[in-house]
Chains A and B, each alone.
Chain A
Amino acid sequence: MDLNLSDEQRLLRESAERFAAGSYDADHRRKMANDPLGFSPAVWKQFAELGWLALPIAEEFGGLGGGAVEIGILMEAFGRGLVSEPYVATVVLGAALIARCGTNEQKQESLPKIADGSLKLALAHSERAARFDLARVATAADRTAQGWRLAGSKIAVLDGHAADEFIVSAHIHDHQRPSGRIGLFLVPATTPGLVVSDYPRLGGGRACNIELSDVHLPEDALLGDGHDALPAIEWAIDCAMAALGAEAVGIMQTLLDTTLEYTKIRKQFGRPLSANQVIRHRLADMAMQVDESRSMALRAALKADAAPVERARAASGAKAKIGKCARFVGEQSIQLHGGMGVTEELEVGAYFKRLVAFDTLFGGSAHHYARHAELGRKA
């Protein structure tokens, strides 16, 4: 039992924090918010040089062989800087699914390119009718003489606008009959029949909805050998929730720090706001919730490779708890900044919006407490 950082992990944290506190500043964020791409290719290149894109990829595919804890360390710093690069889409979800489901050739083809920054991915899984039910996929993949034909719609595809390839989930149909298996298909962004409608995402970055009509793909577009990919999707999204939870912790910590400083400086009725017990207790509650969130994000990361039910309960528990804490810390940060907190002139709002996006992504607190309870009964 040891929860102390190793020397390597400490170095990673230091370099990530240095990055977030350096040139990735308010001016940069403002520029990115109005940028059609929503992130900086130069920063992406920097991520590649720092080895961050290679972090969770196995060494045999040009990676560093890191795990969920290292991802969490990085993500917490990204939260502090409100980083908008498509890291989760490409590395946390994309690389993980290829590593888990892909054939050796597919891994050889994609993973080194992710690591060197030349391939960006996006997972297209969510569908409107499914809400947060990961097992509900209406998009269909029919076998054809040449390979596959995909048809369906996906929503809330994180960073899809920047993706060179989409990983699209679809129900596999054998000879027009549903097989009951979900497959993951690599779909290049330039494929005919694929229509991408992207939009600016709440809290920074972009997302998109995609339509697939009569999209023809070669045989080897299917990741792996056609086993049901649902367990892998659940695993990857659980890992993404742990990573996003760590990012939320960084965001909350920045909001807490900022709000604390403000209450010390802002004077009303002749004394600083922080001289009032009602304010001090509110800040104490915020600090406590940030710390509880930190514990839960770490717990989810440490259980990323545990047995499926244990892993999923840890991920849902973390998602639910951190989501709840994030709303509280975010809303109270605005409250304690007074009228200025509601304006775009401070960055408090931008950080808050990313937290709101976090809470809703992959299902909010209520959904995940329910999932946690449901899995508990099966356990």
Chain B
Amino acid sequence: MDLSFNAEERAFQSEVRGFIAKNLTEEMKRATALTPSVFSDPDIGMAWQRALHRQGWGAPGWPVEHGGPAWTPAQRWIFETESARAGVPNVNVMGVKMVGPVIIGFGSPEQKNFYLPRILSGEDYWCQGYSEPGSGSDLSSLKTRAVRDGDDYIINGTKIWTTHAHHANRMFALVRTSDGPRQQDGISFILIDMKTPGITTRPILTIGGDHEVNQVFFDDVHVPVANRVGEEGKGWTYGKYLLEFERGSGIASAKLREGLKAISDLAESDLTGRAIDSPDIAARISEVEVDIDALEMTELRVLSALQTGQNPGAVSSILKLRNSEIRQAVTRLGVDVIGHDALAVEPMRPLYKLNHEPATPEEMLTMVPEYLNGRAYTIFGGTSEIQRDIIAKTMLGI
């Protein structure tokens, strides 16, 4: 057993560092640090996606024939870790990590040829149409309906929590094409051009004051049948496949560590009157750091198994849950560390384009909104309650 990287892996690490140093601008870095929501604004995120694409790193998880870099699990780890350390923007994960793998797995050759290059290059920006007002955790109860009309489907209904629908030019959606004996039957996976007539988008502000999610309405929206991925009525299978990607992206500890570092730096600074000198704060920082250590080790154990072609087993199901819980613990700590400054509300967005002097030091601006918005981590992608059901089933067989 060995925790350190071999010579090849260290060489790759230098390559990644070199790439980041060359391509990550101060503006991107500052914008990322000052983003209190889950995703970076598209102008920032897509600039990074284009840089990655130029390097051939636009889609780390994809097979080589579709433009993936053929990295080993250890290389992916190094890439993600170095990216988090450097504070790179989030790219459009709905494209690269969600719909991309589904198209690769189940799409037609035409769909692959058309959509995949546009995801890689950043030409397309995707949003996800899964949840509905009446279908949260019980996703397969969804009601948005697609009725066949010649070569088109006519779609009516509504989707909610649609991240960046107001930026996206495409949506992948689960819609009901028929009613089967089980509610999972009769669901299809459809790719929708957001400029199609009949689509309207309503912004939803989250409690941190950010516009990230939306409700999207479909009013007799005509979508070509050719935009269906895979077979009609099999959408649930494809959608579940995608949720596995959403949950098991697998490498979260590096980002958590950077988040905690920003907070412990503040705790050690005069800006907070050295919050770290309170034994309670110091111990809580350690407690969260140790939780991140444990998560990182679990990630590395999974990675080691993957590296040698073994199935990591049910242990990977705990990663999403722990990541979300620890992330919330980090943001909670952030609020407590900044003390008085937690009272100041900065309503303007984006924070990296403020045109006035904020009431608090810049590095504190995101702490409260991140904590507030961060309540969503244990809700989206399957609530923690659903995750515990999954763990009980997969790890314990009950």
A residues neighboring B (CB under 8 Å): 1-6, 9, 69, 260, 263-264, 274, 277, 280-281, 283-285, 287-288, 291-293, 295-296, 298-299, 302-303, 314, 317-318, 320-321, 366, 369-370, 372-374, 376-377
Determine whether the beta carbon of B1 is less than 8 Å from that of A372: no
Determine whether the beta carbon of A69 is less than 8 Å from that of B1: yes
Determine whether the beta carbon of B286 is less than 8 Å from that of A4: no
**A366: chain B residues within 8 A (beta carbon):** 283
**Contact bitstring B6-32, A, C-beta under 8 A = 1, else 0:** 100100000000000000000000000
Quick one: closest B residue to A297, CB to CB?
B297
Determine whether the beta carbon of B398 is less than 8 Å from that of A280: yes
**A295: chain B residues within 8 A (beta carbon):** 293-295, 297-298, 301
Mostly, the A contact residues are helix
- The 7 nearest A-B residue pairs measured at CB: A295-B297, A3-B304, A280-B392, A373-B282, A284-B391, A317-B290, A373-B286
Give the interface size bracket for B toward A: 35 or more
Determine whether the beta carbon of B396 is less than 8 Å from that of A2: no
Q: Within B296-315, which residues are at the interface with A (CB < 8 Å)?
A: 297-298, 300-301, 303-305, 307-308, 310, 315
Known: A260-B398, A292-B298. A317 touches B304 (CB 8 A): no
**A283: chain B residues within 8 A (beta carbon):** 392, 396, 398
Which residue of A1, A281, A293, A372 is within 8 Å of B286 (Cβ)? Answer: A372
Known: A69-B1, A280-B398, A321-B291. A4 touches B304 (CB 8 A): yes
A5 to B301, CA, bound (A): 11
Q: Within B211-256, which residues are at the interface with A (CB < 8 Å)?
A: none
Known: A281-B385, A281-B392. A2 touches B283 (CB 8 A): no
Determine whether the beta carbon of B289 is less than 8 Å from that of A1: no
Known: A6-B1, A302-B3, A372-B290. 17 other contacts (CB 8 A): A1-B5, A1-B300, A2-B308, A3-B301, A4-B1, A280-B398, A284-B392, A291-B315, A293-B294, A295-B297, A296-B293, A302-B2, A320-B287, A370-B279, A370-B286, A373-B285, A376-B285
A302 to B303, CA, bound (A): 16
Determine whether the beta carbon of B2 is less than 8 Å from that of A1: yes
Known: A2-B304, A370-B279. A288 touches B74 (CB 8 A): no
Determine whether the beta carbon of B396 is less than 8 Å from that of A287: yes
A293 to B303, CA, bound (A): 18
Known: A1-B304, A281-B385, A283-B392. A317 touches B286 (CB 8 A): yes
**B293: chain A residues within 8 A (beta carbon):** 295-296, 299, 314, 317, 321
**A5: chain B residues within 8 A (beta carbon):** 1
